Structure 1
Amino acid sequence: GLSTGGTFVTVFGTGFVAPNQVCSFGDEVMAGIVLTSTAVVCTAPAHTAGNITLEVSKNGVDFTNDGVMFQYSSASDSWTMVPSTGPASGGTIVTVVGMGIEADQKLTASFGTVHASTQSVSHGEAVFIVPSSEKGSGNVKVTIMVDLGTVSDSLSFEYVPAMRVQMLAPSTGEVGLSTVVTVIGNDFHSSATCMAHGQAAAPTLLTTTFVTSSSLSCELDAQTAGTVTVEVSMNGAESDATNDRVSFVHAAPAVIDSISPNQVMYVDGQNQVTVRVEGSNFRNTQELACRLGMATPVAGHFVTSSAIDCLLEHDRSGNFTVGVTFNGVHYTSSAMRYEVLPAAEVTSIFPSAGSVNGGTRVTIAGRGLEGLTQCRFGSKTASVAIQKDGNL
């Protein structure tokens, strides 16, 4: 039992007689309550930690000499509480484990001077709901009181500022793919755990990495289409989680059907082209971006759920994929190619003169003319009629 005393001890033997049965705990004699001729209950007095002999007597003078040992433990060794940290707003559910706790006892707990609600009591443990702090953040003494006299004041609880979630980055992900998000907020504790609330009754605990007091890294598992809310708990329990209801959307992946234009010419100093990307499942997000091959992404302009405009930059000729992202993490790429043609160079024109009425067929020779479809004479354009041997 506890060194503070108050533990009810049932002694089993034979020949117990009411009403004068007593127990001796070392040199301390305590009155007993005879249950049957083979069982008597005595209350252990306070004593220093250690082992003592427990004997019984019918008259308070003649005691047994059986040498049965009773062990006293200090309160600090016998009582534990988990968790021992929670928000100053209260609500944390704590479990107290200690010797002498029984299901039929009335246990109460005080955090500082504020009484806690008792949720349940069973053999060896009790569950309490932590009250809100009367003085904000800081450590308070926790006092456990048992109606039969056992008292523990060796425990403490740390109140910390209540955490808040402000935003997620990104706030969208693709169905079937996990997404690592940065949770931005205030007063995050090193023990903080992210949890996602979806359609299931219980929240899903997420793999969480503490970054700073204002930033956590959390991994949302692959999900079906829909919206979940992300909260942060100090101890991985709903009882002390935030309630900011910041949403994360699992959406169908984007599909790219066409790119227009899909062919441009590389010209020094003119390496930006606005491209219309058409498809389906496009979303208007802050992270909307386009990427040419593996180049640095550039911001995209949302037009409709089936069209976006991208200002693509190229610094060389070649064939590239065009990727689109709506969360800065997952990219959708088209199987169609975006071709940047080498810069064209005209070496000769024959004939070099013709009628003002037009209609003259002109042959243009040079390098890099393959794939060209138009020529320009001054401010007027003409279509290419024939391509042969690299000439137009």
Structure 2
Amino acid sequence: MPAVQKSGTVLIRAVEGAQGSSRGLEGEVRYVYYNEPVVTRVEPSSGALEGGTMLSLYGRGLEEGSNLTCRFGTGDAVAGRQETSTMATCVAPPRPVKDVVWLQVSLNGGADFSGSAVEYAYEAGATVDEVRPSAGDSGVDGQTVTVIGRHFGSGQGLSCLFGTRGRVRGMPMTSTAVVCVAPRGGPGAVGVSVSNNGVDEGQTRGGFVYSGDLKGKSAFVYYEGPERGGILVSLNGGADFSGSAVEYAYEAGATVDEVRPSAGDSGVDGQTVTVIGRHFGSGQGLSCLFGTRGRVRGMPMTSTAVVCVAPRGGPGAVGVSVSNNGVEGETASGIVSVRYEYRSGMSAKSVGRSEVRTGLGSGSVYSETL
């Protein structure tokens, strides 16, 4: 077709015979000239090798054709959809290996492609293997979990999806660990997946249980994948579940009744206290939370006593709670009814030391009299 100066529609009619004696044939066709589309950016700019990522392309002149097509590199072309004159959408096809390709658009079904292009990166999709801890309280905000897996990124799109409870921003730690704050949710189990671009939903073998009022009871939660952990979430509304399962125990939350001594010097490190209460565990997550002053690791003595070193703090009183899993505390199952006071300029005090022997071993408990 000959070149023209502006876009528009022309009518084409076939003729026969020599010039000057030609006659028109019946019928005519319409031919559309359009301005070349310009692509300036794509969101997201990366996606999983498996494909299926919904992409939004932005630019100019994207509405004039009737058959929008997206081309990835020199090969794969897929049908797209025109949304406005400055935006179109298409779904990324799969690719066998990691790669960065040029993404172009066509408005005539692939006969001509735009001279402009944007980069799109194919990456290994994020995979979740485990969530630590795998359970928390329902109806509670601020419960932090560490998601363990593979191929985690570090970009702005990094996020965790808790089933239908919502997507939250992720804090990258390594390519195998990301920290997220579980959104508030009612009782029940949800699958947890990680997205590197804020759009894709990665593969998952991990989950999180919102425990509700189930503490003190035992339950079975269904499991999918290797024996290292995880919770199965049915993909068809509970009609089918995996035949494999692991036992998950709901336990009574740690409760603090007393702190000995109940006060110490402000601005001083290394002050040991004995926390007395109920339902204390002995695992690696055992810890004491001193209000906003910080969380410290606990040394288990018995199910009713744990020893912790109070973090340095300025004058004032703080609530003391105990967590068995390293996550729960003042805002979750650790019930705060006891406080520890940081005092300035404390006078002389007497210090006593006693040996404690338990099934977990022996140790020294220090007590102070003010």
Please give the TM-score of this superposition, normalised by the length of structure 1: 0.51
Residue 180 of structure 2: aligned partner: 218
Q: Is the 8 A contact 1:79 1:152 kept in 2?
A: no
1:247 maps to 2:207: yes
Alignment partner of 2:109 out of 133, 141, 147: 147
Distance 2:13 2:308 in 1: 98
Residue 256 of structure 1: aligned partner: 255
Q: Is the 8 A contact 2:255 2:336 kept in 1?
A: yes
* Higher gyration radius (CA): 1
Gap runs ≥5 in structure 1: 21-33, 45-70, 264-270, 345-367, 371-392
1:84 maps to 2:45: yes
RMSD: 5.1
Distance 1:295 1:186 in 2: 30
The offset of 1:149, in angstroms, is 4.0
Distance 2:321 2:120 in 1: 52
The offset of 1:308, in angstroms, is 5.7
CA displacement 1:240-285 (0-9 Å, x = unmatched): 22121422344459362757x989xxxxxxx999977326xx7887
Residue 310 of structure 1: aligned partner: 306
Distance 1:249 1:284 in 2: 22
Gap runs ≥5 in structure 2: 15-26, 216-252, 262-270, 311-316, 341-348, 353-366
1:191 maps to 2:156: yes
1:179 maps to 2:143: yes
The change in CA–CA distance for 1:245 and 1:123 in structure 2 (over 3 A counts) is same
Q: How does 1:1-392 map to 2 (within 5 A)?
A: 9-10=8-9, 42-44=31-33, 77-78=38-39, 80-97=41-58, 99=61, 101=63, 104-105=66-67, 107-118=68-79, 120-122=81-83, 124=85, 125-134=87-96, 136-145=97-106, 146-147=108-109, 149-152=111-114, 154-155=116-117, 156-175=119-138, 176-189=140-153, 190-198=155-163, 200=164, 204-237=166-199, 240-251=200-211, 254=253, 256=255, 277-278=277-278, 286-290=284-288, 297-299=296-298, 310-311=306-307, 323-329=321-327, 330-331=329-330, 332-335=334-337, 342=350
SS of the aligned residue for 2:156 comes to: coil
The change in CA–CA distance for 1:152 and 1:274 in structure 2 (over 3 A counts) is same
SS of the aligned residue for 2:203 comes to: coil
Q: Is the 8 A contact 2:105 2:114 kept in 1?
A: yes
The offset of 1:325, in angstroms, is 0.8
Please give the TM-score of this superposition, normalised by the length of structure 2: 0.54
Q: Percent identity?
A: 23
136-145 or 287-296, which moves further after superposition?
287-296
Number of residues of Structure 1 aligned to a counterpart in Structure 2:
275
Distance 1:216 1:343 in 2: 44
One-letter amino acid of the structure 1 residue matched with residue 72 of structure 2: F
Distance 1:295 1:191 in 2: 28
Q: Is the 8 A contact 1:120 1:126 kept in 2?
A: yes
CA displacement 1:288-310 (0-9 Å, x = unmatched): 3356997974446699xxx5653
Distance 1:193 1:118 in 2: 28
Distance 1:122 1:102 in 2: 11
The change in CA–CA distance for 1:165 and 1:192 in structure 2 (over 3 A counts) is farther
Distance 2:7 2:110 in 1: 8
Q: Is the 8 A contact 2:260 2:274 kept in 1?
A: no
The change in CA–CA distance for 1:276 and 1:144 in structure 2 (over 3 A counts) is same
Distance 1:343 1:192 in 2: 54
Residue 54 of structure 1: aligned partner: none
Which gives a bigger RCO, structure 1 or 2 (Cα 8 Å, sep 6+)? Answer: 2
The change in CA–CA distance for 1:219 and 1:116 in structure 2 (over 3 A counts) is farther
